[in-house]
């Protein structure tokens, strides 16, 4: 259900630029679609044919792919979203997906084709449902009509659009059958009534005065009050975040980890730098260590609830570290038929790119790299680098191909350009392969 609404192409030097280019591409595509449809359809027959339905999605802005084993995106905290909404928000947060995109509501016809008509006066309405009541009423999450939904509607001012005031129902004009909800804020039912309690919501969407179009319901999500901000877990935890950001690590576990050295008996094998664990990165190290040292693991496990420990280790497994290693895109090898790993008689030519927090700066290549061919069984000579400041025509052409390649599964001939064999980021990619002998 997520993304789905649109794919896009090029990337910018920063997240904003990525967004800008994607939005531009998106708008251009929209215009093209509109033009095409206007040419195909007689303009004066509005809404006779299509039977519209409402579709919920978002236009994913993430720069990383969804493949958890991808070594290029392993430390990118912006991975392709699997859902349209995050699981948890703090009151007043904008209801956006993990990549930062707002929900996109769009009318589609029976064949899934997006609406291209102007539909003056048509309005999308949004309100908040009590997710618990909804679940009781509709455990299978079957499509419900408006009347069936109405007992779940929360008649409280829980939404706000842009700078407007808080309201129970937000009403927005549809433009060409769609509206992007990037300015929609949601509130918890205020602390006075349910102090500290999290509120479980869903959003309901419908088109005003169009009873023929079935309402849609979002995925469930939780909104917590400001005081519980610290309890909000990270979607993708960062190595230098507090360990409490991990699923399953509550206040008590945080306290236990902070004094871990004192909790374990002498000779547990716990290294000194893990005697007090406060960061996600340290916790990851502890897990790795416990995997290799059953004695340590045996002492460790009774300190935590089994289910919580499992949740925490699973969540920690996707933690990311700052990754600034340059990336290389190897040019297609024209002289030899072989693909990514092939090297021709003249060696290989590649383009080097900067990388910030595992986000490839695809508009900022900084050097050509030439890897000489290997001689016999021996290693090839050292790489030759030819740096440049501004990409010229040749570089622009290569960049376009590189960008295309990035969007293919496995990222084509892209790779990490970093030779250090003790590179900690290259370790532990697959569960058993590395023999981590650092220090
Ligand atoms: Zn997304
Ligand atoms: Zn990837």
Show the 3-state SS of the chain: CCCCCCCCCCCCCCHHHHHHHHHHHHHHHHHHHHHHHHHHCCCCCCCCCCCCEEEEEECCCCCCCCCCCCCCCCCCCCCCCCCCCCCEEECCCECECCCCCEEEEEEECCCCCECCCCCCCCEEEEEEEEHHHHHHHCCCCCCCCHHHHHHHECCCCCEEECCCCCECEEEEECECCEEEECCEEECCCCCCCCCCCCEEEEEEEEECCCCCCCCEECCCEEEECHHHHHHCCCCCCECCCEHHHCCCCCHHHHHHHHCHHHHCCCCCCCCHHHCCCCEHHHHHHHHHHHHHCHHHHHHHHHHCCHHHHHHHHHHHCCCECCCCCCEEEECCCCCCCCCCCCCECCEEEEEEEEEECCEEEEEEEEEEEEECCCCCCCCCCCCEEEECCCCCHHHHHHHHHHHHHHCCHHHCCEEECCCCCCCHHHCCCCCCCCCCCCC
| pLDDT the model gives residue 28 | 60
Q: State the distance from the centre of ligand 1 to the C-alpha of 3, rounded, in angstroms.
A: 6
Ligand with minimal distance to 73 CA: 2
Q: State the distance from the centre of ligand 2 to the C-alpha of 69, rounded, in angstroms.
A: 8
Q: State the distance from the centre of ligand 2 to the C-alpha of 63, rounded, in angstroms.
A: 9
| pLDDT the model gives residue 211 | 87
Ligand with minimal distance to 15 CA: 1
Residue pair 94/236 in contact by the 8 Å Cβ criterion: no
Q: State the distance from the centre of ligand 2 to the C-alpha of 72, rounded, in angstroms.
A: 5
Ligand with minimal distance to 416 CA: 2
Alpha-carbon distance values, 282 to 190, 242, 274, 298 (Å): 36, 10, 7, 19
Q: State the distance from the centre of ligand 1 to the C-alpha of 65, rounded, in angstroms.
A: 10
Neighbouring CB atoms inside 10 A of 191's CB total 14
Q: State the distance from the centre of ligand 1 to the C-alpha of 11, rounded, in angstroms.
A: 15
> Which portions of the chain are predicted below pLDDT 50?
1-14, 18, 42-47, 192-193, 334-343, 428-439
Q: How far apart are CA 362 and CA 403, in angstroms?
A: 7
Q: How far apart are CA 41 and CA 207, in angstroms?
A: 24
Q: State the distance from the centre of ligand 2 to the C-alpha of 62, rounded, in angstroms.
A: 11
Q: State the distance from the centre of ligand 2 to the C-alpha of 238, rounded, in angstroms.
A: 18
Q: State the distance from the centre of ligand 1 to the C-alpha of 98, rounded, in angstroms.
A: 6
| pLDDT the model gives residue 11 | 37
Ligand with minimal distance to 19 CA: 1
| pLDDT the model gives residue 35 | 61
Q: State the distance from the centre of ligand 2 to the C-alpha of 351, rounded, in angstroms.
A: 18
Ligand with minimal distance to 22 CA: 1
Q: State the distance from the centre of ligand 2 to the C-alpha of 71, rounded, in angstroms.
A: 7
Alpha-carbon distance values, 353 to 261, 322, 379, 410 (Å): 43, 16, 24, 17
- The two beta strands, 88-90 and 221-224, are parallel
Q: State the distance from the centre of ligand 2 to the C-alpha of 100, rounded, in angstroms.
A: 19
Ligand with minimal distance to 83 CA: 1
* pTM, entire model: 0.59
Placement of tokens 């420990």 in the chain = 309
Ligand with minimal distance to 84 CA: 1
Q: How far apart are CA 258 and CA 272, in angstroms?
A: 13
Helix axes 306-316, 280-292, angle to 10 degrees: 110
Ligand with minimal distance to 80 CA: 1
Q: State the distance from the centre of ligand 2 to the C-alpha of 70, rounded, in angstroms.
A: 5
How far is C-alpha 322 from the geometric centre of its chain's CA atoms? Answer: 16
How far is C-alpha 207 from the geometric centre of its chain's CA atoms? Answer: 29
Report the alpha-carbon angle 311-195-141, nearest 5: 55
| pLDDT the model gives residue 2 | 43
Q: How far apart are CA 335 and CA 358, in angstroms?
A: 32
Q: State the distance from the centre of ligand 2 to the C-alpha of 12, rounded, in angstroms.
A: 17
Ligand with minimal distance to 99 CA: 1
């Amino acid at each position: 259900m997520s993304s789905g609404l649109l794919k896009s192409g090029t990337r910018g030097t920063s997240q904003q630029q990525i967004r800008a280019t994607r939005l531009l591409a998106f708008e251009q595509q929209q215009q093209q679609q509109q033009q095409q449809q206007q040419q195909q359809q007689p303009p004066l027959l509005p809404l006779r044919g299509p039977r519209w339905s409402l579709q919920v999605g978002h236009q994913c802005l993430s720069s990383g792919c969804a493949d958890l084993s991808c070594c290029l995106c392993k430390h990118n905290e912006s991975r392709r979203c699997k859902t349209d909404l995050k699981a948890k928000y703090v009151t007043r947060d904008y209801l956006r997906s993990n990549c930062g995109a707002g929900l996109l509501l769009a009318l589609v016809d029976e064949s899934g084709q997006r609406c291209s008509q102007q539909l003056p006066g048509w309005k999308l309405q949004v309100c908040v449902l009590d997710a618990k009541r909804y679940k009781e009423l509709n455990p299978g999450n079957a499509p419900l009509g408006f009347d069936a939904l109405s007992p779940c509607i929360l008649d409280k001012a829980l939404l706000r659009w842009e700078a407007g005031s808080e309201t129970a129902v937000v009403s927005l004009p549809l433009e060409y059958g769609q509206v992007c909800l990037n300015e929609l804020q949601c509130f918890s039912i205020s602390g006075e009534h349910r102090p500290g309690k999290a509120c479980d919501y869903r959003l309901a969407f419908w088109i005003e005065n169009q009873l023929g179009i079935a309402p849609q319901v979002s995925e469930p999500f939780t909104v917590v009050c400001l005081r519980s901000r610290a309890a909000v877990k990270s979607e993708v935890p960062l190595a230098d975040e507090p360990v409490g950001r991990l699923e399953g690590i509550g206040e008590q576990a945080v306290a236990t980890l902070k004094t871990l050295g004192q909790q374990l008996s002498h000779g547990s094998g716990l290294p000194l730098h893990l005697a007090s664990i406060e960061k996600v990165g340290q916790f990851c190290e502890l897990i790795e260590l416990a995997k290799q040292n059953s004695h340590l693991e045996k002492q460790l496990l009774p300190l935590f609830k089994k289910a919580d420990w499992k949740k925490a280790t699973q969540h920690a497994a996707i933690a990311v570290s700052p990754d600034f290693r340059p990336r290389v895109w190897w040019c297609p090898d024209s002289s030899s038929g072989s693909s990514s790993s092939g090297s021709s008689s003249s060696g290989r030519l590649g383009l080097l790119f900067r990388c910030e927090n595992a986000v490839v700066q695809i508009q900022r290549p900084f050097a050509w790299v030439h890897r000489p061919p290997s001689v016999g069984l021996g290693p090839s000579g050292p790489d030759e680098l030819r740096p440049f400041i501004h990409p010229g025509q040749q570089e622009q052409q290569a960049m376009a191909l590189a960008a295309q390649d990035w969007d293919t599964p496995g990222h084509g001939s892209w790779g990490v350009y970093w030779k250090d064999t003790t590179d900690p980021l290259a370790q532990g990619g697959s569960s058993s392969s590395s023999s981590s002998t650092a220090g």
